[in-house]
């Protein structure tokens, strides 16, 4: 390949907010067959807002303030949203100690009153915390695209919090553009199956939900059998998948880990930038060969 063609493509990309870390990444982008996207923070803004807090035992304020206490040390977008909501309601957030996060599942910390967990409904079901009645209330919220997290203290089910994220304005168009280029698009998410299906339907994209980090990796290796795959993500939990893909693309607002692991980054977080990367790469390859 001619170094001049590659250098000029890298510079041209940079002018349009497409940062590519070198010629190898540039060339791989043009050969990609599948593009996999993380959902939260990649196809959505990644700034969920609390839309409802429901108490099942105790008060709404207790559910929210204890959830906020556990999330204080968390950098997860759901945690930040819960903390913000507690602050905007001027609640006193108790102290929490020894917080631990389990990627894809939730967080636990010790409060004066006991161990409090904020996590996925799936995890709560596994622990036998959700009655069929509560599980169906949770499902109803999820069907319309909400993410619900369960707040529990030991074996006591305090309540749940429903949150909602916004799609990035160019997500649907950005995915469509990739399909016009002949690529398969897929959304991979750790979020619940119902919320994921609602978002996927709005975007017209195939998807896999409730994936733990290891399952995201398996999905990537599966698609890789059909040819090179690009993975687009933003979070710490996306880093292994970005590394496992033939080429990793990070949202520039993403975490440092994602940006360091990725081979390319999209300034201004435009989903449409992925298709532009492919076009740029194909143009360079055709000049080279
Ligand atoms: P995504 O793939 O959409 O970025 P994650 O893998 O980060 O999602 O999280 C998957 C699920 O795990 C969340 O929808 C939530 O139910 C639960 N979860 C993860 N981290 C937290 C947290 N800090 N607080 C509450 N729930 C969490
Ligand atoms: Mg994410």
Residue 242: pLDDT band with limits 50, 70, 90: very high
Report the distance separating Cα 278 and Cα 273, nearest Å: 9
- The pLDDT tens digits of the residues spanning 183-205 come to 999 999 998 899 999 999 999 99
Contact 5, 288 (CB under 8 A): yes
The residue ranking higher by pLDDT, 46 or 262, is: 262
Sign of the torsion angle spanned by Cα atoms 136, 141, 143, 145:
negative
Q: What average pLDDT does this structure show over 164-178?
A: 96
Residues near ligand 1 with C-beta < 6 Å?
Answer: 38-40, 71, 74, 76, 78-79, 101, 104-107, 118-120, 147, 149, 189-191, 235, 237
In the chain, alpha helices (H)? 3-15, 23-31, 60-71, 77-88, 121-126, 132-143, 171-180, 193-203, 213-224, 239-244, 256-261, 273-288
Structure-token match 């300034």, residue found? 267
Give the mutation target among 190, 193, 207, 233 for probing the ligand 1 site: most ligand atoms within 8 A of CB.
190
Q: What ipTM score was computed for the predicted complex, to two decimals?
A: 0.93
Q: How far is the CA of 93 from the centre of ligand 2 (A)?
A: 26
Q: What average pLDDT does this structure show over 100-121?
A: 95
Give the mutation target among 36, 37, 40 for probing the ligand 1 site: most ligand atoms within 8 A of CB.
40
Q: Which atom of ligand 1 is nearest to the CA of 41?
A: 4
Q: What average pLDDT does this structure show over 229-254?
A: 92
Q: What residues form DSSP beta bridges with 100?
A: 108
- The pLDDT tens digits of the residues spanning 27-79 come to 999 999 999 999 988 999 989 999 999 999 999 999 999 999 999 988 888 99
Report the distance separating Cα 185 and Cα 17, nearest Å: 22
Show the domains of the chain with their CATH numbers.
Answer: 3-45+167-288 (3.40.50.1000), 49-164 (3.40.1110.10)
pLDDT surpasses 80 at 81: yes
- Mean pLDDT rounded to a whole number for the chain: 94
What percent of the chain clears pLDDT 70, i.e. is strictly above it?
A: 99
Q: How far is the CA of 170 from the centre of ligand 1 (A)?
A: 24
Q: How far is the CA of 45 from the centre of ligand 2 (A)?
A: 10
Structure-token match 């079901």, residue found? 125
The residue ranking higher by pLDDT, 96 or 2, is: 96
Closest-approaching ligand to the CA atom of 121 = 1
- Catalytically annotated residues: 38
Instruction: State pTM to two decimals.
Output: 0.84
Report the distance separating Cα 283 and Cα 85, nearest Å: 48
Q: What average pLDDT does this structure show over 110-133?
A: 96
pLDDT confidence of residue 66? 98
- The pLDDT tens digits of the residues spanning 142-165 come to 999 899 999 999 999 999 999 999
Report the distance separating Cα 26 and Cα 21, nearest Å: 8
Q: Where are the beta strands (DSSP E) in 86-165?
A: 97-102, 106-111, 114-119, 147-153, 156-164
């Amino acid at each position: 390949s001619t170094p001049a063609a590659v250098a000029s493509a890298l510079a041209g990309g940079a002018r349009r907010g497409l940062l590519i870390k070198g010629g190898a990444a540039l060339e791989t982008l043009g050969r990609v067959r599948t593009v996999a996207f993380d959902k939260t923070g990649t196809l959505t803004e990644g700034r969920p807002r609390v839309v409802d807090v429901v108490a099942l035992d105790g008060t709404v304020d207790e559910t929210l303030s204890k959830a906020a206490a556990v999330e204080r040390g968390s950098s997860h977008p759901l945690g930040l949203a819960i903390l913000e909501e507690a602050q905007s309601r001027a609640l006193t957030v108790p102290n929490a100690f020894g917080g631990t996060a389990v990627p894809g599942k939730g967080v636990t910390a010790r409060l004066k009153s006991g161990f409090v967990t904020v996590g996925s409904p799936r995890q709560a079901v596994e622990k036998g915390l959700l009655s069929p009645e509560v599980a169906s209330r949770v499902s109803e919220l999820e069907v319309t695209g909400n993410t619900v997290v369960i707040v529990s203290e030991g074996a006591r089910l305090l309540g749940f919090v429903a949150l909602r994220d916004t799609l990035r304005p160019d997500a649907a168009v950005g995915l469509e553009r990739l399909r016009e280029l002949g690529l398969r698009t897929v959304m991979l998410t750790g979020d619940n199956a119902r919320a994921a299906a609602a978002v996927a339907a709005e975007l017209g994209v195939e998807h896999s939900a409730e994936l733990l980090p290891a399952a995201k990796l398996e999905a990537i290796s599966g698609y890789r059998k059909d040819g090179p795959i690009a993975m687009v993500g933003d979070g710490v939990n996306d880093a292994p998948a970005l590394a496992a893909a033939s080429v990793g693309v990070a949202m520039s607002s993403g975490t440092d880990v994602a940006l360091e692991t990725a081979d390319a980054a999209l300034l201004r977080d435009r989903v449409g930038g992925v298709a532009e990367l492919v076009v740029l790469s194909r143009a360079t390859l055709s000049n080279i060969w």
